[in-house]
Amino acid sequence: MAVVVILVLLALGSVLFHVLSPWWWTPIASNWNYIDNTIIITFWITGIAFVAVVLFMAYCVFRFRHRPGNTADYEPENRRLESWLATGTTLGVAAMLAPGLFVWHQFITVPEGAAEVEVVGQQWLWNFRLPGADGKLGTTDARDVTPDNPLGLNRNDAASLDDVIVEAGELHLPVGKPVKVLLRSVDVLHDFYVPEFRAKMDMVPGMITYFWFTPTRTGTFEVLCAELCGVGHPQMRGTVVVDTEDDYRAWLAEQQTFSQLTASSDGDSTATAVAAATAQSEAP
């Protein structure tokens, strides 16, 4: 009998925990409240199913527990009941899947005119790159990575020269404008994850992945890495600041472009350049 009480308490307790506990998702800061809504739908459907199954089970145990003289029914199957249940389940599943696929379609369809921003992961920090005045990001290759070109930009690509580079700093984004975040890594898998934006995607060395979103409120948000990338994985943090349009422009004006960066590093000791050259020649 204890088991009946425990089963009931467990079903109701889970629901109460869900309703009363202080642990809930962070306030959203992007356009993806569709995702939150789909989760809410899923919570309702699965919650009802869970409570129904557990309470029904508790009732069965209570009502049909063994007592002297009891015998069980002999009922091999009941096709009608089974098909009703299967149909009901199919409908429930469809009610979750349909909005899910609908929102996924939005998620992978980048709106035209979305501004491109590149995030480059490396063990264990975040770099960012924004297109310069030409509005285009230059091409890159991990083979081109050197100490004075940590993001591996192609020096022969004219589009690269005016690209704005933010090394291990903050990324600023203007509020209300859709952004296509291009993701790249120069060493291992990483995952650009800001809980408030809801979106995330792995960064794969040798590939460029992407997701898009529109920041909907200003503020400062913490970037975490969500794909195991070695012992420094939990320390791999960064910051995204969502600014008003004016603040964003002011920030952008302070940033250095690729050509400015390389020009300043030309004055460095030749030792780094030599080291970089040997490092490159060793790579086949």
Partner 1 sequence: MVDVRSGLGEALPPPEVEDVELYHPHSWWTRYVFSQDAKIIAIQYATTAIAIGMVALVLSWLMRLQLGFPDTFQLVDAEAYYQFITMHGMIMVIYLLTALFLGGFGNYLIPLMVGARDMVFPYANMLSYWIYLLAVLVLVASFFAPGGPTGAGWTLYPPQALLSGTPGGKDWGIILMLSSLIIFIIGFTMGGLNYVVTVLQGRARGMTLMRMPLTVWGIFTATVMALLAFPALFVACVMMLFDRLLGTSFFMPAIVEMGEQLPYGGGSPILFQHLFWFFGHPEVYIVALPAFGIVSDLISTHARKNIFGYRMMVWAIVIIGGLSFVVWAHHMYVSGMNPYFGFFFATTTLIIAVPTAIKVYNWVLTLWRGNIHLTLPMLFALAFIVTFVNGGLTGLFLGNVVVDVPLSDTMFVVAHFHMVMGVAPILVIFGAIYHWYPKITGRMLDETLGQIHFWITFIGAYGIFFPMHYLGLIGVPRRYYELGETAFVPDSVHTLNAFISIMALIVGAAQIVLLFNLVWSLRHGREAGGNPWRATTLEWQTPETPPPHGNWGKELPVVYRWAYDYSVPGAPEDFIPQNQPAPSRVSHEAAS
Partner 2 sequence: MSIMLIFLTAIAAVIVWWLAQQRLASKPWLEVGHARDHRRAAPLPAAKVGLGVFLAVVGSLFALSFSAYFMRMASSDWGTLPLPGFLWINTAILALASAALYWTKLNAERQHGEAARTGLLVALAAGLAFLVGQLFAWRALANAGYLLAGNPANSFFYMLTGLHGLHILGGLAALGRVTVHASDAGFDRRTRLSVELCAIYWHFMLAVWLVLFALLSGWATEVVVFCRQLLT
115 binds partner 1 (CB under 8 A): no
Of partner 2, partner 1, none, which one sits near residue 64, judging by CB under 5 to 8 A according to partner kind? partner 1
Of partner 1, partner 2, none, which one sits near residue 44, judging by CB under 5 to 8 A according to partner kind? none
Give me 77's structure tokens: 């199957």
- Rounded to 5 degrees, φ, ψ at 142 are -60, -25
Q: Total residues at the site for partner 1 (CB under 8 A)?
A: 105
133 binds partner 1 (CB under 8 A): no
- Rounded to 5 degrees, φ, ψ at 218 are -80, 160
274 binds partner 1 (CB under 8 A): no
Let me know: does 38 contact 99? Beta carbons within 8 Å: yes
101 DSSP 8-state letter? H
103 binds partner 1 (CB under 8 A): yes
**Which has the closest alpha carbon to 33: 95, 111, 99?**
99
Of partner 2, partner 1, none, which one sits near residue 12, judging by CB under 5 to 8 A according to partner kind? none
> In the complex with partner 1, which residue's Cβ is closer, 196 or 243?
196
Give me 204's structure tokens: 């794969």
268 binds partner 1 (CB under 8 A): no
33 binds partner 1 (CB under 8 A): no
Shortest distance, position 261 Cβ to partner 1, whole Å: 16
195 binds partner 1 (CB under 8 A): yes
Shortest distance, position 203 Cβ to partner 1, whole Å: 7
* Strand order across the 256-257 sheet: 209-213, 179-185, 115-122, 125-130, 164-167, 256-257
The identity of residue 144, as a single letter, is: D
